[in-house]
Amino acid sequence: VIALRAFLRFAEANEWCAPGLAARIDAPRIYTHERLPRGPRWEDVARLVAEPARPSPSDIRDRAILLLHAVYAFRNSEVISLRLSDIDWQQETICVWRPKQQKRQCYPLVPEVGEAIIQYLRQVRPKHICPQLFLSLLQPYRPMTTTGLSTMVRIRQRGLGLVLPGYGPHSLRHACATRLIAEGFSLKEIGDHLGHTSTEATQIYAKVDMPALRQVASMDLASLVDYAARLEADAASGDSETGGQR
């Protein structure tokens, strides 16, 4: 619908069609949180970030990137903007700039992630003055782009034969949040981990909280209906006693 509207506005500007056609095309109604989060199963994520027996330079670099997406749910742009100075090896922390919150957020450096980054720095990363953490492997050395990083994740997901509603770094972000839900973390805690600016952005993950949904489904609705019926009967009785003034 968006593409068709844009084309008709362009056609109208060139006098190829009658005016006002674009405004008459109604878009389908899409409700907030209508769809489930689209992410791979955590078992598939574990396969994706597993260390190969004989890793190539690209395997070593890409594994460090995939771990950042899977463990910390970093966005594509956040991984691209990571600098060497964002990792404090003495304090064992990693900090990321959150563009939506306009502030830095720091996390404990998980040992597996730290070891993967160290392996990349020692064995793969070019000796270059560029401050960005992840660089291209071929000259001229330059920071990785968001397009290149997204393409890498999609290729590696498809290489495992995964069939997903959506591929790329954001699917790993969904997988991380879904795993945290399964581990019993609250929506507030998950929102803080994902760097959400409001709780509304995290509410969609309540749809995949199966234990909580089962508790709702097991509620004794019969007693609730009986209670509502008694309230309605009491209200009707009160109206008749007071001549309908209540």
Q: Which of 63, 75, 174, 179 is catalytic?
A: 75
Known catalytic residue at 246: no
Q: Is the dihedral of CA 200, 202, 208, 214 positive or negative?
A: negative
Of the two residues 242 and 170, the one the predictor is more confident about is 170
Residue tagged active-site, from 63, 69, 173, 179: 173
pLDDT at residue 100, as a whole number: 78
Q: What is the DSSP letter of 18?
A: -
The mean pLDDT of 110-139, rounded to a whole number, is 95
Active site residue 100: yes
Of the listed 72, 120, 167, 205, which one is catalytic? 205
Q: How many CB atoms lie within 10 A of CB 76?
A: 21
Question: What tens digit of pLDDT does each residue of 129-162 get?
Answer: 999 999 999 989 999 999 999 999 999 999 999 9
Work out the burial of residue 216: count CB atoms within 10 Å of its CB; fewer than 13 is exposed, 13-18 middle, 19 or more buried.
Answer: exposed
**Would the CA dihedral through 187, 189, 192, 194 be positive or negative?**
negative
Residue 228: pLDDT above 70?
A: yes
Inform me whether the pLDDT recorded for 211 exceeds 70.
Answer: no
Question: Is 0.85 topped by the overall pTM?
Answer: no
> Which residue of the set 61, 170, 174, 179 is catalytic?
170
Which residues have C-beta within 8 Å of that of residue 103, sequence separation ≥ 6? 97
Q: Which strands, in side-by-side order, build the sheet including 87-88?
A: 87-88, 93-98, 103-108
- The phi, psi pair for 221, rounded to 5°, reads -75, -25
pLDDT per position as a tens digit, 2-23: 899 999 999 999 999 999 999 8
Please, what is the average pLDDT of the chain?
Answer: 87
Identify whether 31 is a catalytic site residue: no
List the catalytic residue out of 100, 104, 158, 230.
100
SS3 of the chain: helix, strand, coil, percent, to 5: 55, 5, 40
Active site residue 173: yes
pLDDT in tens, 52-67: 999 999 999 999 999 9
pLDDT at 246 over 60: no
Q: Residue 214: what pLDDT?
A: 65
